[in-house]
Amino acid sequence: MKRTVLFIHSAGPQGQDLGSSKLSAYVEKELRDTYQFIFPKMPAPENPKYAPWKNQLEKELKKLNGEVILVGHSLGGSVLLKYLSEESCSLPISGLFIIASPYWGFDEDWQLKDFFLQKNFEEHLPKIPNLFLYHSRDEEIVPFSHHKMYAEKLPQAAIRELEGKEHLFLNGLPILVNDLRSGC
């Protein structure tokens, strides 16, 4: 039986060559022989609100059986961290992979209160054996300082600080695929 990867996309326009579409297509293509890949459309990505995203995430999780690997790109990563630190999830999670995610409330440009993490969120996360954080050092969309804040809060995470300015990873993210293959 194939293991399941649930990929939660970014905010903003989605679809052919937009948002997380190229990154998710790359990951799916690379892993399709050994993993079942689920890439749900999240509600109103151009004007996201946490409650509808949480509800959609819960629907997707309820459809699954066995171990799951969670991948969140940008807002998708923020949503996964918020959900996992505030809700109970009965599925065993073998890996959590957070890519270029904003740490909401960290600075004045990132103040969508809907997505703020509770204080000490890291203490409320379930035990996840494989936790990875990815971020480009010179990214212009989500500042690298957000990644550093997550790295500080989640010292157990494997940290992947990437050269360049990538946020959308239009040509894929080979290190993510390698980590998925070797870690989960």
| Nearest Cα to Cα of residue 76 among 95, 61, 97 | 97
Give pLDDT tens digits for 13-53.
999 899 999 999 999 999 999 999 999 999 999 999 999 99
| CA atoms of 157 and 133, how far apart (whole Å) | 7
For the whole prediction, is pTM greater than 0.85? yes
What confidence tens digit (pLDDT) does each residue in 65-95 have?
Answer: 999 999 999 999 999 999 999 999 989 999 9
Judged by phi (left if over 0) then psi (alpha if -120 to 50, else beta), residue 15 lies in left
